[in-house]
Each structure stands twice: as C-alpha cells, then as structure tokens.
Structure 1
C-alpha cells in the first residue's frame, strides 16, 4: 500500500514513524512544502522521499493522511486532488472546522476520492500514534485496520458524516 503523509510536523511524523515499524511496512512518502529540520532528518535517516510539492508522484497513492493545520485544508486538497487516482482515501486528521470538513468531503466526492474525517482526541506529543481517534464517514476497512495496526484506538461514529459535531 502506498501511503502519503501530508504535513510533517509532530502528528505526521508520529504516524510515519509508527508505520515504518510495522512488519508489513507500507510504501511511505512524505509531503510538506516547508519542512522543519526534524522532518528532513526523519526522511533522510529512513531513506524516504520528502516532497515539497504535489505532482505525478502521487498517482499511485492509495491512502493520504492529512496532518496539516485546519486553515490549510482547502488549498491542500486543491493541490492533491488532480494527482490522486480514483478511489484514493483521504483521512483528514487536520484541525479544520466542521464546515471545512463538510466542504472537503463534497469536494472529494466530485473527484471520486474517498474522504474520512478523523478527530484526534488526545495529545500526540504524549501518546504518539496511539492517541485515540474519532472516525466519521464511510467505513473503509483497510483504513481502520491501518489505524489499529498503528496502535491507535479508533471509535467509529456510526451513521456519521465528515464534519459531524459531537455533542
């Protein structure tokens, strides 16, 4: 499975690090337009590509984990979607607003990408990839399996859609 992690800050690198420890380590590539030195060192030290822009290299991506600031969601999607294959899964771990996530789901549906809203419910600085997650959207077994392999407790919000508010 080819996985792309977009955003190589604390969250993105926590998932990248754990993914590379799996016995069935995926083909993993990283994308960050302005990577911090920790991201560059991580990629160099593990022989991973750290791209600074989207492009044809995304054509084989099956799963994209968005670990970006919420304000970046729309421009990130606009740059990714033209390059992703039909059926690619986008798991949005960003801090975007509920409205932005609903828009993102709609935008992905127009291109046949599959969008899932993932809320991180704890401190990644403390728990790393094992931080609990809330999952809203289409049930995608391979995505749920990956999060479980990464050690992340996942609570699927039944009959939920991206941008659902939990009250």
Structure 2
C-alpha cells in the first residue's frame, strides 16, 4: 500500500481532467475505467480491477455518471465495499442522490472507512485548470486528509455538513444551472427571431435583473458558434433535474419549476442532442422555432 498513490475510478469527461491535474502535480494515480485508454490519456497507471485499486490506495476518488453506477461500483460483486479497509477515505465526486450517499456512507462506516461526498461545479474548463468548486459532506477529519489532493483540482472547497450535504447542495446548484440555461436559450432564440443584435442584448441583460451565469459566461460565446464543448450533456442535465425533483419530494417541497428545464433538455435529447453539451439546447429550441441558429453558418 502506498500513501502517495491516489486511486481514481471513472476517468471520463471530468474524472480524466481531474486525474490529469493530479498527475501533472507529481501525484501517482492508479486509475480504473472500462475505457482503459481514458486512464492512460490522463497519465495514470491502469488498475487491473476495482478490487486491486481499493486494496492499493488509501485515498480513492470516484467520478461516475449517477447513483446507480456508484452503487454498482461500491456494492457490486468484488466491488469497493468488499475490499475497503479501516482508515481509507473514499470520495464520491459524482452528482448523486443524497439518500443513496448517506446509505453507502453508513455501510463504509461499519468498516472504518470515511465516505465523503464532494459535488463539483465549474465544468470541463475548470477541471482542466484545477479551479473547480467542491461542495463537501462527510467528516471534517476526512476533509482535512483530502486537502493536499483537493488543492490540485479546486480553488474553493466548502464543507457543508454531514454525509449527503455535499450532494444535496450540488443538486440545488445544478437545478438553478438548468433553469438559467434553458430559459436563456429560449430568450436568445426569441431575440434572434426579433432581429436583435445578440451581443447587444446580452450586454443589456448582464447590466439588468435578468443576468445569470448563462448570460455572462455561455451565450456570449454560443452566439459566435462556440458551444464550449466538453461539459455536461443534455441527458445528464435531465438526470440532474430528475434527481432534484426526487430530492424535493423527499423534503416535502413542491417542485413547481422543474417542468421548464425537463421539457427543454428532454426536447434536446429527443432531437438528437442528448449526448452533446447541454448548451446545444439552444439549437433544439431553434429547430422547433423555424431552424434558428444564433450564429451565422461558417
């Protein structure tokens, strides 16, 4: 066992970038992903199995699509829970259901393992630069042990409370992200059809009460044909909105505002944009509005 080697399960769009940040900082990373090419592309050593990775590393990071995949990795045959040992810290960087997170945390606690939920925000660009925001739930002692790791991938690490608090915060944030992206896409298509100069429109909105992350950071580039590829897909955005609705049901809060983003990203998926960056929702809305594109064809 090596205290200097970090395990990383799931080296996809975000995980691969985070693993690369660790490798470039001089950290030894042992990675496992069904696509072994993704592990080597990140500069990590390929683990033969999840079991080998868990048995080798004292700190393990996971970046997986959803709770169902996390549960298979943790509770599946020969999975992480089977091979976990006292003193380990396992970090779930996925966007997952807090109820599932709390259940897995309790199972790991029985083996003396600290299970930390760390929702991430910032997208592929921030993962590339190591400037992510981490929303953390779990034990403060475990977070202290993770500080040398997190400093290479994030510039803001916020401890929010016990197990599940990080993933809860992540879902709340992602829902607002979904709302602002879907609503701004609709507004921009309307602005285009109205004959407005889109950059001028954005300048006005960004100095007014409609300003949001999408108007500030996404649409100034989308209006020029740069969709900022590499981020969250429409399918994953839809998944996050569903998780948010499930969370509100558990909390006894009426999810009155979920229908807009559900319809928008569901439309994007139905029209073939599901596996592309969620910013393409503007093209889906444009398709049903007469074939509108914000930018002039090249």
- Between the aligned partners of 1:60 and 1:36, the Cα distance in structure 2 is 18
C-alpha RMSD of matched pairs (Å): 2.0
Q: Name which structure has the greater RCO, CA cutoff 8 Å, separation 6+.
A: 1
Written as runs of structure 1 = structure 2, the 5 A alignment for 1:111-126 is 111-123=111-123, 125-126=124-125
Residues 20-42 of structure 1: per-residue CA shift (max 9 Å, x gap): 121xx22210011x2174x0551
Q: Count how many residue pairs are aligned between Structure 1 and Structure 2.
A: 157
| Structure 2 spans left out of the alignment, 5+ residues | 173-298
**1:73–1:100 CA contact under 8 A, matched in 2:** no
Q: Unaligned 5+ residue runs, structure 1?
A: none
SS in 1 for 2:55: helix
- How far is the alpha carbon of 1:19 from its aligned partner? 0.5
Bigger proportion of residues as strand: 1
Question: How far apart are 1:15 and its partner, in Å?
Answer: 1.3
- The counterpart of 2:63, out of the listed 63, 67, 71, is 67
Rg larger for: 2
Compute the TM-score of the two structures, normalised by the length of structure 2: 0.49
TM-score calculated relative to the size of structure 1:
0.83
Preserved contact between residue 60 and residue 84 of structure 1 (Cα < 8 Å): no
Check whether the contact 1:9–1:36 (CA below 8 A) recurs between aligned residues: no
Structure richer in helix, relative to its length: 2
Once residues 75 and 108 of structure 1 are traced to their aligned partners in structure 2, the CA distance between those partners, rounded to angstroms, is 14
1:17-166 paired onto structure 2 within 5 Å: 17-22=20-25, 25-32=26-33, 34-35=34-35, 37=37, 39-42=38-41, 46=43, 48-51=44-47, 53-70=49-66, 71-78=68-75, 79-123=79-123, 125-128=124-127, 129-139=130-140, 140=142, 141-157=144-160, 160-164=161-165, 165-166=168-169
Kept after mapping to 2: 8 A contact 1:137/1:162: yes
- Please identify runs of 4+ aligned residues in structure 1 that moved more than 3 A: 149-152
